[in-house]
Amino acid sequence: MKIISHKVLDQLSLEASGSERLRKNLNLHDDYADPCQRLFIAMEPGTYIRPHRHTDPPKPECFMAVRGKLALVVFDDDGEVKQVISFGDGCHTLAIDLPAGEWHSIIVIEPGSIFFETKPGPYVAMSDKDFAPWAPEENSPEVGSYLSVLTEIVLKKDSENF
């Protein structure tokens, strides 16, 4: 049995804020081969999740906000934003069940944000994500401007919802 306390999540958030990628996972599954991948993910504003989808094999994902505020951004095949769904503190939405094959990313709105994710396993790093060809690679020089544009879209959409 694994018990996740507030102290554990505080530590996870601290580790995320101090990491180069501004995020940190706490896996609850014992092995990447487990049939159900379950993890807490702490993320800070400025982290970049390259838009991707899960197609090999197709896998749905479920995201549930635990702390803070985030936004799921869903794209069409050309990279245009189809939908922005803010979830977490102060939002109407707490959790999102994303169908397999949807291009998506997550933008962090508030520091100290944590969400819980589940998706079918096993996790195979080489085939888990189909990265969007129209989005910059994680460490490329274009990431900063691309992330700024996405964040601006998210914040504009978020302000329209309230």
Query: Whole-angstrom Cα distance, residue 59 to residue 43?
Result: 22
For the chain, count helices (H), then strands (E): 3, 10
Query: Whole-angstrom Cα distance, residue 147 to residue 15?
Result: 22
How high is the pLDDT of residue 105? 99
For the entire predicted model, the pTM comes to 0.94
**In which region does residue 17 sit, left (phi positive, over 0), alpha (psi from -120 to 50) or beta (all else)?**
alpha
pLDDT tens for the chain, 162 residues: list them. Answer: 999 999 999 999 999 999 999 999 999 999 999 999 999 999 999 999 999 999 989 999 999 999 999 999 999 999 999 999 999 999 999 999 999 999 999 999 999 999 999 999 999 988 889 999 999 999 999 999 999 999 999 999 866 554
Domains present along the chain, CATH in parentheses: 6-160 (2.60.120.10)
Are 18 and 54 within 8 A, CB to CB?
no
Query: Residue 62 pairs with which residues in a beta bridge?
Result: 97, 118
